[in-house]
Chain A
Amino acid sequence: MGGYGDVQLLRDDGTRLDGRKVDEMRPVTIEAGVLPAADGSAMITHGLNVAVAAVYGPMEAHPRKIQRQDRAVIDVRYNMAPFSTSDRIRPGFNRRSREISKVTADALESVVLVERYPRSKIRVEIEILAAEAGTRCVGITAAAVALADAGIPMRDMIVGVASGKVEDTVVLDLDKAEDNYGQADLPVGILPNTGEIAFLQMDGDLSPDEYNLAMEYNFKAAKEIHEIMVDALQRRYQGGEA
């Protein structure tokens, strides 16, 4: 993230390298209930990103020291598969996956009604099968659908979405080149029904105007992704029951 080098990220006609407009997101598809062993699960493709999320619980929190007497804890494990990028990733936890697991857990804790399950743990596993920038947002979106699929009560379904800046232009939903060579990245977790923000990170610099425009793009995309999330759940269960 620096904006240096001679990589041209915007064409002369204002479109991006993959042909998208600046406020256009990559195609998103979501499928709920893909893993039979999990209490709830979802698979999402977002551009070239592919992620699977599985939810287990609520269950007794172990080890006991993590138990909270008045609420459940959310235990998130975000992991990128070794084959998810062109360079092999060393399997196992690393600094980045630990950080993303933590911010994801914090974001989910703000929407799940954790006070319903004292001393419990809700386990969320996010596995990135293919990565092309924006995997933390994709993981959060998949986790929200998996939590809903598992019947975990929530105030809203959180949507992960990102905007950023490339060549001094604010763009929605950065792809790999834009993420690597762009000037800023602004991933957020949005509650689409209330418009609240459950998590926000910023990498790089944005002026107040650029920030406002990026957030405008993010909210617009969050609405679109939320519709796809709802549709995925309805497709799975609205099968013309007698």
Chain B
Amino acid sequence: MSQGQTGAEQRLVTPGMAVGPSTGKRAGSGIIATEDTFIATQLGWLRELNNTVSIDPINAAYMPRSGDLVVGIVAEVRNNLWFMNINGSFQGLLPMSLAPWKVEFGAARQHMDVGDVVLARVQEVDECHNVVLTMKGVGLRRLNQGTVESIPVQHIDRVRGANNERLQRLRDATDCRIMVGENGRVWIDGSADGVSLARHALHAVSKEAHSKDMDEILNEIENKKKGDA
């Protein structure tokens, strides 16, 4: 995931661009190796870490992986399962056996209906992109209050920061409960002012991430909060 241009100067590469010799190095995500050269396959920042050359894409679709925490929206209800929109190419499937309640066959709608928002985890993904979700786990639940915002998937790490440091700053600055799903959906719950500030910060990250640092945005919010107090 993107950390933007931090530390040493990074190179913006475009698909098809030769990014250096492949000898003695490994091809990471966004890179294909020809006989002796690495070729970029995506638009993004070139990164070399632990002898692996990869690309932090500037735009990317959410590709679910097993274990991902996601904020899903119920898209369809059947007798014994729910289909969830998880902001990916395909809907995720939540069978009643993996719901946190004891669900009778045919009574799925009584627990969750179309439009309900849940915090779930990706149980498994097969090679054909079939996604199975689970709500069995600590903290996984239906989200009955709050609001959901979307941010580009590649900016999630930027919002979280190292060890969730930035996310915690955002929580403290806005006095909100905030959960960041790996699928680019952010759940925010708190006072109207707090939610508004958090949304402003997330919008700023989405729009200005290429030119403005998240810390700068957080400083603005923190200063505004101090000024108001």
Contacts and interface: CB of A to CB of B under 8 A. Distances in A.
A is bound by B: yes
Interface stretch (A86-94, A129-137, A170-178, A231-239): A231-239
B12 A60 contact: no
A16 B104 CA distance: 78
Interface of B is mostly: loop
A10 interface: no
B104 to A, nearest CB: 30
A109 interface: no
B72 interface: no
B43 A241 contact: no
Interface of A is mostly: loop
B210 to A, nearest CB: 5
Given A59-B89, A153-B41, A234 B12 contact: yes
Contact of A120 (B42, B89, B154): B89
Contacts of A59: 89
B16 A191 contact: yes
B54 to A, nearest CB: 12
Interface string B199-213: 000000000011111
B15 A148 contact: yes
Interface of B: 4-5, 12, 14-18, 30, 32, 39, 41-44, 57-61, 89-91, 127-129, 154, 209-213, 216
Given A60-B90, A240-B211, A241-B213, 12 more contacts: A57-B61, A119-B90, A147-B15, A149-B59, A151-B58, A151-B59, A153-B30, A230-B17, A237-B210, A239-B211, A241-B5, A242-B216
Name the 8 nearest CB pairs between A and B, nearest first: A156-B16, A151-B59, A242-B213, A239-B211, A153-B41, A154-B15, A193-B16, A151-B60
23 contacts: A113-B41, A117-B89, A119-B129, A148-B15, A148-B42, A149-B59, A150-B59, A151-B59, A151-B61, A153-B41, A154-B15, A154-B41, A154-B42, A155-B39, A156-B16, A156-B39, A157-B16, A229-B14, A230-B14, A233-B12, A234-B12, A237-B58, A239-B210
